[in-house]
Amino acid sequence: MIPGQFEYVRPGDLDEALRILKDREGEAKLLSGGYSLIPLIKLRLAQPGLLVDLQDVTGLDGISETDDHLRIGARATHRQINENEIVADRYPMLHEATALIGDPQVRNWGTIGGSIAHADPASDWPALLLATGATVVCRGQSTEREIKARDFFVDTFTTAIEPTEVLTEVRLPRRPRLAGGAYNKLERKVGDFATCGAAVAVQLAGDGRIVWAGVALTGVAESPFAATDAEALLQGGTPSEDLFRGAGAAAGVQARPAADVRGSVEYKRAMAAEMTVRSLRSAVARAQAYA
């Protein structure tokens, strides 16, 4: 697998990266961890004329909490996020999900920005962002857009990013009291992409009812998607196994899986329901404990 020829540049700051993207629009491609892009180039499924390596660009890293959101820089690796103290302490859903991405090598190199810009329907980050109501920040030469995750993932490998923009950070709503989230992923073997994954985030009221729920699925549609029928069913409900089973069934029906080596359509629908139920149980238990 020998790639075609391409030029390579390593800009030192974001303005320079944006200028290059504008000057070489149509042929330049950003490079972050390279764990999705390099295989595509080797297989000649992508043939960019110029790779713009982001590794020296400052300001795209770091993880911090503001008054209203958790900010994750686009260049943060899955491992850095997994090992971050704020994430481990207050965002268990992200902590458990990042431990399930690929293998240690993938987690050391792969970045959150690269993962969501790539928008593989089998990747884990999109469902986490859809379920939590996250936003994605994209910078152009003279523009900055904050895009809701639900408007960001357009189709298979297609997002709302313009070719002249750089995704700079992801913002997840700061976790309030009585809120919790969980991610369950079914994989054939350790390190595999998901057969199916379910991300669930809930906010409870003081009386224990669910006042807000986000449910999103990995690997069971042509693009990452929010299971809105399950969300509607959960809204206002009192947590119970029956409610969870009903929401799981709704998520399974709304899934649009394709049969492949990971299973039949019927199997994937059943697993979408089951992963949703498991994530609901954990998310609600975590919300109840976070008083």
Ligand X SMILES: Cc1cc2nc3c(=O)[nH]c(=O)nc-3n(C[C@H](O)[C@H](O)[C@H](O)COP(=O)(O)OP(=O)(O)OC[C@H]3O[C@@H](n4cnc5c(N)ncnc54)[C@H](O)[C@@H]3O)c2cc1C
By CB under 6 A, name the binding residues for ligand X.
Answer: 29-37, 54, 74, 101-102, 106, 109-111, 113-115, 117-118, 123-125, 161, 166-167, 193
What gap in Å lies between CA 154 and CA 144, rounded to an integer? 19
Of 83 and 229, nearer to ligand X (C-beta) is 83
Q: Which helix (H) or strand (E) holds 115?
A: helix 112-118
For the CB of residue 113, give the shortest distance to ligand X in the complex, in Å: 4
Of 43 and 232, nearer to ligand X (C-beta) is 43
For the CB of residue 288, give the shortest distance to ligand X in the complex, in Å: 29
For the CB of residue 2, give the shortest distance to ligand X in the complex, in Å: 18
What gap in Å lies between CA 135 and CA 121, rounded to an integer? 18
Q: What's the angle, vertex CA 143, arms to CA 119 and CA 9, rounded to 5?
A: 65
What gap in Å lies between CA 193 and CA 183, rounded to an integer? 14
For the CB of residue 112, give the shortest distance to ligand X in the complex, in Å: 8
Please name which of 238, 75, 100 lies closest in space to residue 182, comparing C-alpha atoms: 100
Of 56 and 241, nearer to ligand X (C-beta) is 56
Of 54 and 179, nearer to ligand X (C-beta) is 54
Phi and psi based region of residue 64 (left: phi greater than 0; alpha: psi -120 to 50; beta: remaining): beta
For the CB of residue 228, give the shortest distance to ligand X in the complex, in Å: 22
Of 203 and 218, nearer to ligand X (C-beta) is 218
For the CB of residue 73, give the shortest distance to ligand X in the complex, in Å: 9
Of 223 and 288, nearer to ligand X (C-beta) is 223
User: Please, what's the b/e burial string for 214-245 (b: 16 or more CB within 10 A of its CB; e: otherwise)?
Assistant: bbbbbbbbebbbbbeebbebbeebebeeebbe
Please name which of 74, 37, 73 lies closest in space to residue 52, comparing C-alpha atoms: 37
